[in-house]
Amino acid sequence: MSQGLNLAQLDAVNYVSGPCLVLAGAGSGKTRVITHKIQRLIQVGLEPKQIAAITFTNKAATEMRERAKGLIGKAAKDVVICTFHALGVRIMREDGQVLGLKPQFSILDADDVVSILKDCGGTTDAATARQWQWTISLWKNQGLSAAQAEALAPDDNARVIARIMARYEERLTAYQSVDFDDLIGLPLKLLAEHEAVRAKWQKTLGHVLVDEYQDTNATQYEVLKHIVGERGRFTAVGDDDQSIYGWRGATLDNLKRLPQDFPQLKVIKLEQNYRSTSAILRAANNVIGPNPKLFPKTLFSELGEGEPVRVVDADNEEHEAERAVARIQSIRAGTSTEGAAKHREFKDFAILYRANHMARSFEQALRRAQIPYKVSGGQSFFDKAEIKDLCAWFRLWINNDDDPAFLRAITSPKRGIGHQTLAQLGTFATKYKVSLFEALFASSLPSAVSSRAVHGLHEFGRYINDLEHRARHTSGKEDAMRFLTEWLKDIGYEKHLYDSEDNESIANARWTNVLEFCDWMAGRCGGEIEDATGAQATERKSLLEVAQTISLISTLNEREEEQNVVTLSTLHASKGLEWPHVMLVGVNEGLLPFKLGDDDQPSGQANGPMSEGILQRLQEERRLMYVGITRAQRSLAVSWTRRRKKGRETVAGVPSRFIGEMALDKATVKEDPREKLKALRAEFAQRAARTPAAEN
């Protein structure tokens, strides 16, 4: 049991009698602790299905399940290893009828939400609707209803958004649909207001482990409290120094509340880092030092001192990108002491930045140098228009009342049913308070649309019903693939793609995506992959059952396979990842930390005391810098620019205050990898001159 665990990790694994908070510093082996604790809980008598391990992404859940399988074998398929949102779906599929929600409710994606909000708010501007979406999402994550948000609104604009939120909620109810935030908010409503549901889930889950606990929001904390009850059989694993999601509702108050709500809470600190060298950790500890500590800790490493952290200054963004590329080439060529032979593949390098727009100059420099790369957090496979088209059909099979899915399916491909007919159908459905699909078969529909249009609408409705019936009775990979192939041929989807694209190669790529997606769907029908709620799909599933999980998978999906390429990533997207060699770029005041406010001087010295809000934002930016530093295993370079673009202007650049806070040795501050490359080329030239030419 103790194999490979240090004393603090063992303490965390073996404490199973009450609530436990594991403060897991960066690289301290938290996933190892969680999986070993799952094993321990089974040893002390819990059934695998009584254990829930909650993560924030499907990728993390998949990794955790694989590692648990290595410890407990086949029992891992019965452990509930899933995301917070997937657990919410599971609760609502089983008990949502208490709130008037049918089990086949739809989960709307961000585009659907924006479309509905535009309608609710009477605007055609998507940017305005997206702002409303962000505000409403934040309110929901804080547990506020539309009425509460209106009562607390600080100004007229907020009051308007609260009223739009009320209309939006009415639409969701009518569509038998939920948005992403509802996957937490509605389970909370179920658990808080219905004692029988709460008792059922407290009995079902005997111990709950929560990964990345510092990223939970107020609503998620309340869900956790209601599931674990007063007995408090849970293990929260997190790190207050890595809390970087305040902008989307995550709150450190959840860490503060644990000892208050659970006085018997046992706190265990994991401070040994297994990822980074001492030089890198020292910089990280120094940066995070000025932040107030809920639970003070200091990371240490037994991996040796390692290479000093380098600080690189550049003239501008293009120069900075050239230096980053030169550094990669230098380490790969072996001219740098940081380039151990086994850490010289492209996949060993990452370039991390504060904001997405900063990637451009690095992409250009990498392309010029013919270095392969990927931009992490780019467009998801499920965000592609062709995949969203197919998902709309699936959603309509599952939930006929899903109006956004109806509108997308009936126009993808077009079926001779025009916008005017759809507008008339929409007016009719609104008048009689029914969904668009239900309106198709209303006896009075011919009074609203032409007889030709009625025929087309009826034909579409019957086709959807037929597909739903056949999908319900289709299972197994081969049968599912045959069904999907015939369906796509039937609706002429391939022709639709080629007709809608001028560029044939783009149409080819889109059709390949469709075929890949169908193969992936069919594979799930054959039980090849676990489903979105964490259950292992060992038995054959019907195509309809698989389709029910698609919305959640597409919302949380990370389809990144291992590739031998340099990674470009935002700091937020890099959390939880690690690379041997990391370059942290654009570390300028105004970028990292991001411009905090008018009363904050570029030098980092304000004229007077900072406001509480700005101070909290500075602390979160400092945690973001800390996260970036602790992604590095063997080497870290931090760069800033003397001039940078700001809109159409070029402004003077100032190094971030965080560079000073790293408290590096002055000798490490200057580095120019181009000089190393010049030296290497000169050495090769000298060797070539000394080597006699081979005779013919």
Catalytic residue among 9, 31, 619, 633: 31
CA distance 179 to 253: 25
**Cα 569 from Cα 590, distance rounded (Å):** 19
Q: Of 9, 30, 181, 216, which one is the catalytic site residue? A: 30
Instruction: Enumerate helices (H) and strands (E) in the chain, giving the number of each.
Output: 28, 18
pLDDT at position 377, please? 64
Which listed residue (133, 216, 235, 242) is catalytic?
242
Pair of tokens at residue 310? 């380098």
Residue 563 annotated as catalytic: no
Active site residue 31: yes
Cis before 372 (ω within 30):
no
**For the stretch 66-86, what's the b/e string if a residue is b when 16 or more beta carbons lie within 10 angstroms of its beta carbon?**
ebbbeebeebbbbbbbbbbbb
* Bridge partners for 414 per DSSP: 411
Question: What's the pLDDT score for residue 532?
Answer: 43
Confirm whether 531 is a catalytic residue.
Answer: no
Nearest to 483 by CA among 517, 522, 541, 510: 522
End-to-end CA distance of the chain: 67
Catalytic residue among 150, 211, 307, 338: 211
What is the per-residue pLDDT for 1? 43
Cβ atoms of 438 and 401 closer than 8 Å: yes
CA angle 43, 47, 49 (to 5 degrees): 135
The first and second tokens of residue 140, run together, are: 């929901």
Q: Which of 179, 212, 239, 621 is catalytic?
A: 212
204 is catalytic: no
Is residue 324 within 8 A of residue 542, CB to CB? The reply is no
Which residues of the chain are modeled with pLDDT < 50?
1, 528-538, 555-560, 598-607, 667-669, 692-696
Of 233, 541, 631, 676, the catalytic one is 631
DSSP summary character for residue 102: -
Contact indicator for 109, 551 with CB cutoff of 8 Å: yes
- Structure tokens given for 71: 């410890």
- The CB-side HSE value for 581 (13 A sphere, CA atoms) comes to 26
Q: How confident is the model at residue 243, as a pLDDT?
A: 81
| Active site (annotated) includes residue 241 | no
Instruction: For residue 260, give both structure tokens.
Output: 């208050």
> Dihedral of the CA atoms 451, 456, 462, 466 (nearest 10)?
170
Is 140 catalytic? The answer is no
Distances (CA, A) of 648 to 83, 364, 561, 645, 651: 42, 19, 38, 7, 10
Asked if residue 489 lies in contact with residue 556, where contact means CB atoms within 8 angstroms, the answer is no
Q: Quick count: other Cβ atoms within 10 Å of Cβ 663?
A: 12
> What predicted TM-score, i.e. pTM, was given to this entire model?
0.73
pLDDT recorded at residue 554: 52
